[in-house]
Amino acid sequence: MDSEMLEKAWGDVCSQVKSYNNIDPTQINAFFSRLHPQAMSEGFLMLTADNDFIKTWIEKHYVEVIKQALGDLYHIPYMVVIEVDVTAAQANAQPAPVQSSPVQPQTQMPAAATQPVSATPAAQSNPYSPSQPYASPSHAAGGAASVGLGGPSSSPAGAEEYAAHGISSDVDEMGKPTSSLTFENFVIGDSNRMAYSMAVAVAEMPGKAHLNPLFIYGKSGLGKTHLLRAIQNYIIETMPHLSTIYVDSAELLSDYMEASAAHDKEKSSYKNFKTRYEDADVLLIDDVQYLQGKKQTLDIVFQIFNKLTSQGKQVVLSADRAPKNIDIDERYKSRFNSGGTFDIQPPEIETKLGIVKSFVEEYRINEGIRELSIPEDIQLYIAESSSSNIRELKSAVTKVIYQMTFFNQPDISLADVRDLLENHFSGGPSKRLTVSDIQKEVENFYKISHAELIGKKRTRNIIYARQIGIYLCRQLLDLPFNDIGKQFNRDHSTVMYSVTNVEEKMKESRELREELEALKQLIREI
């Protein structure tokens, strides 16, 4: 079969897989893009993957559904063989630090350990695979699973963390991962694709100079902790000889204060504190913005940071804002920003809908209620109404599930859900929020008067604030352009231009995206 026919046949297989009712096409698009057909004959298909990681995950979770698609298309059983494209793997390889060893092929992950997922930037587990009707990360970490940018834990009431974002946990005394936050259960969308891809790259080969440190930032509940934990769990699973430490900055601060309480730098407690982190091969520090104003702790962190990176050891940091927006000394900002810095944006509707589906599926798995099903219109309502914080979305799904199961209302309607969640959401469409509310917050934020906001002045700062106000009214209230225009003394075309202009600028400016998110938070707190 020539290459053109081979590519077409593989395309047909991918389309067939995506046609199954229990398959999410966006997941297949992202994941299968890292597979390449090499040979095909009657009853046989050979594919290559970019690396061992992808090969292992495909073999474990997707081979059977590929076979099913081939059988449906060609009406004979197929053997599917997956090999690693050595050329691609070598092309992508970077020198590893001396203490690291390459990731070895994993023909089967231990059932009790956290399982990694594909290294593709958009790869994620597919809990709907026909080959594993209820395959899920519950096999990992002793069964305490949470799905993707957000699935529930083993019980809805027990998981506060969001999937990308799921439940927070740690490792036991033996270093065995107990967290359910893995790459496989992180739901990928345009909002987090790059950060995810870079996290996987670091997990596969810690210490790459251009990603050391790796700095991931974004608002609370968007998946920073999930990615840090996923890196930790993947390295523990595949490179157990490396010392991997995850620490929240609050815990780090507490450790430091305890160790240096007597201000005696010769105390064994202080030495043990510093040695613990300096001996790490991979150090992951979460929420570093909480260290601002803590000069002594920052100085120690900076020393540890420099020692590790100079030795080719990996440092990963997270914060709720970009390094330049953290109130710390310029030298810290410069070093934090010296590797790879990537942001996570609020998930788009499609991603949130995927998270809702994952929540529901995971609950079915963990509770054994296979007949549980939330109607599509209710799932969409939750996705559209929830704010950027996926913990809020998760708790909304939990409420609906409880109403259906524990309160014996299996045929719950959209109207019932609207009543149930009437006061639940902090973002999304809001009946209580008004144009005046948004205008007031914009005026306070940009230090201009109401008369200037809706008046004829065209100085740059006023035009900028006015366009932001118009954009926020459109996004948060979903009002027609003409209705918004009346509140700003502008016509329909001016309002449309303002919205489009802000949307275009957001694509290029992280600063603007952060600014808008801060404004939205202020508005939600009204």
Q: Are 503 and 471 in contact (CB under 8 A)?
A: yes
224 is in an annotated binding site: yes
Which secondary structure element, helix H or strand E, spans residue 37, and what is its range?
A: strand 35-41
Amino acid at 44: F
Bridge partners (DSSP) of residue 244 are 282
Q: Could you tell me if 118 and 344 are in contact, meaning their C-beta atoms sit under 8 angstroms apart?
A: no
**β-strand partners of 341:** 215
Question: In this structure, are strands 44-49 and 35-41 parallel, antiparallel, or unpaired?
Answer: antiparallel
Give CA–CA dist 203/237, Å, rounded.
Answer: 10
Neighbouring-strand partners of residue 282: 244, 314
**Cβ contact 293:327 at 8 Å:** yes
What are residue 142's phi and psi, to 5 degrees?
65, 15
3-state secondary structure of 47: strand
| Side-chain half-sphere CA neighbours of 226 within 13 A | 36
Tell me the two tokens of residue 4: 């053109």
Which class for 174: exposed (0-12), middle (13-18), buried (19 or more C-beta within 10 A)?
A: exposed
Nearest residue to 316 (alpha-carbon basis) of 264, 407, 247, 233: 247
DSSP string over 273-324: HHHHHHT-SEEEEE-GGGGTT-HHHHHHHHHHHHHHHHTT-EEEEEESS-GG
Percent of the chain that is helix, strand, coil (3-state, to 5): 50, 10, 40
Q: Which phi and psi (to 5°) does residue 15 adopt?
A: -65, -40
Query: Is 339 annotated to bind ligand?
Result: no
> Are residues 126 and 135 in contact, defined by beta-carbon separation less than 8 angstroms?
yes
Count Cβ atoms below 10 Å from residue 492 Cβ, excluding itself.
14
The helix/strand/coil state of 48 is strand
- Token representation of residue 431: 């009946």
Q: What is the DSSP string of 399-446?
A: HHHHHHHTTT-TT--HHHHHHHTTTT-SSSS-SS--HHHHHHHHHHHH
Q: Tokens 């993707």 correspond to what residue?
A: 148
Residue 475 structure tokens: 């996004």
Torsion of CA 254, 256, 260, 263, to 10 degrees: -100
Please enumerate, by residue number, every residue annotated as part of a binding site for ATP.
221, 223-225
